Chains A and B, each alone.
Chain A
Amino acid sequence: MASAASRTAPDPTASDAPPRPANAEPILTVNNIEVVYDDVILVLRGVSLEVPQGEIVTLLGPNGAGKTTTLKAISGLLRTENGAVTRGEVRFMGENIANMAPEQIVRKGIFQVMEGRRIVEDMTVIENLRLGAYTRKDSAGAVKRDLEMVLDYFPRLRERTGLAGYLSGGEQQMLAIGRAMMARPKLILLDEPSMGLAPLLVKEVFNIIRKLNAELGMTTLLVEQNAKMALGAASFGYIMESGKIVMDGPQQDLLDNEDVKEFYLGGGGEHRKSFKNLKSYKRRKRWI
């Protein structure tokens, strides 16, 4: 249905070569993958993206676009939901990891922080953090040092001695990110870190994501509904709809794009002046 012609990307490179976030070598390359659940339900139809070393890349899109599925295809968790990558490849540091078992992929250095935190509720904060280091082979001392480092990044977690299930939503999100840090991953996949958090906490969580990237060089692929926050942190963005990437570009290009402003950031465009116009505009301009 959709072709290159319907693409409204401002990125000049988009037409010929696959879009490439400029500076660094990509650590992860998702190449035209197709994902099928239960052998029949086609969810992703040719998704390609790249994550360069040491950068934050964001994947935006409405509900049901396939953002989480894309992350699960990368982390291998697709398997646990009876899904599979049926075409294309996921290259991580040169190796095709599509359809590998999730526990193997974690060992290779990709760690997914799942949507809705998913911390182990009947364990304490420390136990959750130590669990993050499960795959690590280095000494107990190194793990302990990292534990201290994580607690320094999240001082509010230090005071919480009870079960993690009783933490507030924001603290649970911090714990989930901290748990991922404990694994010392080369690439961290964050699935909707802002879900269900108060605006102030969302800000705090995104500050932490930016800080981790700046100070530890944590390469991050960030899936978000909150496009404003995500584009504020990321250097490059992709926009998904109905299982396809419909638009991509560096942070500033996306922020300036009229369509992105209209659909994701709110405001922008003269069409907003009347709701009637807005509706017809939306119908006309849907990407797919």
Chain B
Amino acid sequence: MDLFIQLLINGIIVGTLYGVVAMCFVLIYKSTQVVNFAQGEFLLIGAWICWTILVQFQIPFVFGFLITLAFMAALGMFIQMVVLRPMIGEPIISVIMVTIGLSIFTRALSNWLFGQSTVGFPDVFGVNAISIGGLQVQPAYLMSFVISLVIMAGFFYFFKYSRHGLAMRATAFNQQVAQSLGISVKQVFAMAWAISAMVSALAGVVVGMVNGVSSALSFIGIKVFPAVILGGLDSIIGAVVGGLIVGVLENMAEYVDGQFLHWGNMLTIAPFWVLIIILVVKPYGLFGTKDIERV
């Protein structure tokens, strides 16, 4: 039973993190209609940049972290402007191939620059597990959970109340309408990529602190995919819920597998099974918007 609760909590913690990355994915899809298969690579790049700054240049964590975020924002805008802007108006499959290409390129580059092995982050937060209600929780996990919640609240506030958030939603609704309101669509696209890259990098750093940095980080991008589809491709709330479901599901699958079935590797497969079932029952995903029709 203890193992069950432990895994459940693990699932929720990992799930919120998936939720954050899924939100970044949805952010890009919603505002620019690009399915970004290189989302996982943003985590990878962010983690490596931060690691390099902290370990190679010995810069204090807070500054190193801020530099990482600034760099990722610039990188996101750069990718949008140089790689994706020329693809506007091209068929969706070409755009998808470009992002897949971007993902392969980035992964190869990181393998070449940093090698295949896993490298640990310097310990910023203590290593001693904290006991919460009789359960041992690593501070890094706890921090990851808190950071995820803060990001989610930030996203909520941004889209609900800020001027730029509203502009982004208007652009997602209809680009011509947005332009008629004085919104620069190019600026919104650049902003969406910048925010997405920045927050993904943050998630990458958090995961890197918990599990170490290696090219395996980019697989989170693939794991997040079922979460996004599950929640509905264009719903931010859906992304969060989808992320939680996938996180918990993974850990539950591991529990069931480890205790009873002994099939092995259920952890990676279970989310995709559920994905298929949900898509059969609700093709728009759990929260995906159907168009409003007045009757």
Contact = CB atoms under 8 A, between A and B. Distances in A.
A81 B294 CA distance: 27
A206 B160 CA distance: 33
| Max count, chain B CB within 10 A of own CB: residue among A75, A114, A121, A183 | A121
A102 interface: yes
Interface in A125-149: 127, 130-132, 134-135
Interface stretch (B16-24, B92-100, B162-170, B211-219): B162-170
Contact of A131 (B166, B179, B289): B166
Interface in B165-191: 166-167, 169-170, 173-177, 179-184
Given A163-B292, A166-B292, A166-B294, A123 B166 contact: yes
Nearest to A183: B182
A121 B291 CA distance: 9
Taking residues whose C-beta sits less than 8 angstroms from the other chain, chain B's interface range is: 20 to 34
Contacts of A98: none
Interface string A79-110: 01100000000000000000001110011000
Interface string B149-166: 000000000001001001
A263 B167 CA distance: 43
A183 B163 CA distance: 13
A165 B179 contact: no
B289 A130 contact: no
B166 A80 contact: no
A122 B177 CA distance: 13
B180 A75 contact: yes
A202 to B, nearest CB: 18
A189 to B, nearest CB: 10
A103 B177 contact: no
A134 B179 CA distance: 11
A53 B184 CA distance: 28
Interface residues of A, number: 29
A80 B179 contact: yes
A121 B181 contact: no
A77 B179 contact: yes
B177 A134 contact: no
Interface string B264-295: 00000000000000000000000001001010
Contacts of B170: 120, 123, 131
B176 A77 contact: yes
A131 B292 contact: no
B173 A134 contact: no
Contact of B289 (A114, A122, A132, A135): A122
A77 B174 CA distance: 13
A77 B181 CA distance: 10
B182 A121 contact: no
A118 interface: yes
Contacts of B175: 80
Nearest to B182: A106
A112 interface: yes
Given A103-B183, A106-B181, A114-B180, A165 B167 contact: no
Contacts of B183: 103, 134
B182 A165 contact: no
Contacts of B292: 121-122, 163, 165-166
Contacts of A165: 292, 294
A107 to B, nearest CB: 6
A168 B295 CA distance: 10
Contacts of A102: 179-180, 182
Contact of B181 (A127, A131, A166, A168): A131
Nearest to B164: A134
A127 B166 contact: yes
Interface string A150-164: 000000000000010
Contacts of A168: 294
Nearest to A118: B177
Contacts of A131: 166-167, 170, 181
Interface of B: 160, 163, 166-167, 169-170, 173-177, 179-184, 289, 292, 294
Given A127-B169, A131-B170, 7 more contacts: A103-B179, A111-B182, A114-B180, A118-B174, A118-B176, A127-B160, A183-B182
5 contacts: A80-B176, A118-B174, A122-B289, A123-B170, A134-B167
